[in-house]
Amino acid sequence: MAPKVVISEVTGKPKIIRSHSGRDEAKAAAVMTKEEWNTYQTEKFSKQWPLPSYMHEKRELKHVRDGGEGAYRDRTYEIVTRWTEKTQIRYRPHAKSPGSKSHVRYENYAKATTVGQALKLGTFPMDWCYDYEHGFIKVVGGVVRDEPIDPTRVDDEKKLTEVDKVIMNWYRRELAKKYGLKAQDLLTEKGGESMVMRAHRLVSNRTAEGFLAAANKEKRLIKEEEVLETLSFWGFARNVNRVNVLPTGKEWVWSDTLGIIRDRVGDIHCTKPTLRYPAVTTILNQWLRDHMPPEAASFKWTSLNLNCNYAAKRHRDGNNFGPSMIKAFGDFKHGELCYFPRDDRTLDIAKLPASDRTTLDIKKNLCMFNGNSAHEVNDFEGSRFSVVWFTVGCHAKAPDHCKAACAEMNMPFPAADENPHSLLDAPAGYAKGVTNRPVARPTLSQMRAKGSGTQKSAIGASMKVWPVAILKKTGKWSGGAKAAGKIPVRMDGKLKKKIASK
C-alpha cells in the first residue's frame, strides 16, 4: 500500500516521507548502548558544545528544500560556504542517538579533523549545516574564506578542490530554491556580480515587473511600499569608489548607480545592472513621474543613485548637471538629509557656516536640492534606503543608444542645451548680504490650484520640499509602465545587445 501523501501547509508541496528501511541494520551497527550514549548527554557536554548564538534569535525566513519544510538559517549558509578543505573542525563526541541511521554515519565521519576529511568520510554541506546549527561541530582553525566561493568569479576551475566544487554547486541549488529561480540563472552573467547578489537582483527585478504590471492593469500610481519592497530585495554592491561619502572607519558602502555614468577612462554608457534588471530602473523612474509636483514637471534625469543603510559624511557630488531629487524609503528613525544651500564650493567643506546647515526630512518629503553643494546624512536607526535622481554632467555627449535605453525605462532624458538653473538657482555663496531663498512646503490647496503656489519662487530658490502625503492625493496616473514599453518590462533584444557591445 502506497504511503499517504501529506501536503505541507507552508510550501503547498508533499512533505518528505522518511524511509524506515535499514533501521534494524542501524540498530545492529550502533557502537554503543543507549545507556552509554546518555553519559555524553550531560549539562557539562551541552555547555562545551553550545548552539550558535544566532540560533536563539527569532527566525526571519525559512528556506524550502526538496518540497519539505525548513532547512537552515541565512547565517549558517554564510558560515558553511566559507569553509575550505583545510578548515579545521572538531565534532561533539557521540552526538546522535544509537539505533538511528544517522548515528552510524555520524560515528564514522565524526573522526574527521578537517572539512576535506569529512567530505571523504561521506558528509555533505547539508550535514555540515545541520551539525553546525545543533552545536555538533566547531571550527577550531585552518583556512576559512573571507567570502563564499562563487562560481561566477572562478577564473580557473582546475584550481578548485573537491570541497570547493561540492559547496559551490550545492549552494547554487539552495539559493535557486530559496528564491524560486533556476540554478542556471545564477551562472549566466559574470563580471561584477556575486552569485548571491545576482539572485537578489533577479528577485528584485521580478518583483518590480509584477508591480508595474499591476499598476498598469489597475491604472494607478506606483506605491511607495512597492518601491520599498523592490529595494529590499535588491542586492547592493560593496562600493569602495565613493570615497567622498564614506563614514568614518568605513572602507565601503552599499551603493549602486543605475542609468548613465562616465567611467574612469571617459567612456559614457549605461551601467550593467541597468540593462540586466530594467524593471528596477523603470519602477523607480515611474514612482517619481507619478508623484512629480506640477512646478517640477520639467525636471529630467539620466541616472539614479541607490543607497542602503549608511549615513553619508559631508560631501559634494562631483559634477552633476542641474538639481537632484531625493527620497528615502524604509522603517527608520532620523537619517535626515542636511544640506548647505548657499555652498558654491569656494570654502573648505569642513568650514561651512553652521547657520547655513538645513535639515530636510526625506522620509516624509520629496526634496529637490543641488547635489554639487555640500550635504550629509544624520545618523539613523532602522533600515534605510534612499534614491537620488540626477543628471550627469556629460549627458550631452551620451550615445544615442544609451538615451534610447533610458527612454525605454521611462527616464526623461534632458536635452543637450537644457538650462541647469530653470528649477533652482545657482548657490549664492557666502558673500555678505547674499542669500538663497528656500521654497516653503506648498499647502494642499496650493498644490490643487492651477500651477503651484511656489512656482513664482523658482528663481532664487535653493531647494524645494513637497510632502509625499500631498503628492499621493494630487498625482495622476499617466499611462504607468506603458510608457516604458511592454509589460512585463523587457529591454528590446537588439537594443540590449547593441548597448552591451559598447
Residue 163 in any domain: the answer is: no
% residues pLDDT > 70 (the chain): 80
pLDDT at 7 over 80: no
Mean pLDDT of 116-120: 97
pLDDT in tens, 36-89: 888 888 998 889 999 999 898 876 545 444 434 456 888 898 899 999 999 999
Question: What does the pLDDT read at residue 34?
Answer: 86
DSSP 72-119: --HHHHHHHTTEEEEEEEEEPTT-S-TTSHHHHHHHHHTT-SBHHHHH
User: How far apart, in whole angstroms, are the C-alpha atoms of residue 255 and residue 473?
Assistant: 31
Question: What does the pLDDT read at residue 348?
Answer: 96
- 200 and 102, same structural domain? no
Residue 181 in any domain: the answer is: no
Of 258, 253, 280, nearest in space to 488 by CA: 280
Residue 7 in any domain: the answer is: no
User: How far apart, in whole angstroms, are the C-alpha atoms of residue 470 and residue 458?
Assistant: 20
Residue 403 in any domain: the answer is: yes
Provide the residue count of the chain.
Answer: 502
- 396 and 294, same structural domain? yes
Question: What does the pLDDT read at residue 346?
Answer: 94
Domain count, the chain: 2
Distance, C-alpha 40 to centroid of its chain: 45
Which residues touch 468 (CB under 8 Å, ≥6 apart)? Answer: 224, 291, 327, 364, 365, 366
Banded pLDDT at 314 (limits 50, 70, 90)? very high
- 201 and 149, same structural domain? no
Give the lowest-confidence range in 59-68, 113-122, 148-157: 59-68
Question: What does the pLDDT read at residue 391?
Answer: 98
- 305 and 215, same structural domain? yes
- 329 and 241, same structural domain? yes
**Residue 275: C-alpha distances to residues 392, 409, 490 (Å):** 18, 10, 9
Mean pLDDT of 244-255: 91
User: How far apart, in whole angstroms, are the C-alpha atoms of residue 71 and residue 133?
Assistant: 10
Of 153, 176, 208, the residue that ends a domain is 153
Task: Please provide the average confidence, as pLDDT, over all residues in the chain.
Answer: 84
Question: What does the pLDDT read at residue 433?
Answer: 63
- 269 and 378, same structural domain? yes
pLDDT at 455 over 90: no
- 330 and 390, same structural domain? yes
- 474 and 379, same structural domain? yes
Question: What does the pLDDT read at residue 495?
Answer: 47
Residue 376 in any domain: the answer is: yes
- 407 and 329, same structural domain? yes
pLDDT in tens, 175-199: 888 888 888 888 755 567 888 889 9
pLDDT at 492 over 80: no
pTM (2 d.p.): 0.76
Which residues touch 135 (CB under 8 Å, ≥6 apart)? Answer: 46, 49, 50, 51, 52, 92
Of 120, 153, 186, the residue that ends a domain is 153
- 488 and 414, same structural domain? yes
Nine-digit cell string for 464: 524645494
Residue 360 in any domain: the answer is: yes
Give the lowest-confidence range in 102-116, 174-188, 213-227: 174-188
Identity of the highest mean pLDDT range in 155-169, 295-309, 482-496: 295-309
pLDDT in tens, 23-51: 666 666 677 888 888 888 899 888 999 99
- 344 and 282, same structural domain? yes
Rg (CA), the chain: 28
- 241 and 96, same structural domain? no
Residue 317 in any domain: the answer is: yes
Give the lowest-confidence range in 50-54, 374-378, 466-470, 478-482: 478-482
E-assigned strand segments in 237-361:
238-239, 253-262, 268-270, 303-308, 324-334, 337-339, 358-360
CATH at residue 224 = 2.60.120
Residue 175 in any domain: the answer is: no
Quote the domain boundaries for residue 253.
Answer: 195-500
Identity of the highest mean pLDDT range in 19-28, 325-334, 443-452, 460-469: 325-334
Banded pLDDT at 264 (limits 50, 70, 90)? confident
pLDDT at 327 over 80: yes
User: How far apart, in whole angstroms, are the C-alpha atoms of residue 217 and residue 488?
Assistant: 11
pLDDT in tens, 418-433: 999 999 999 999 987 6
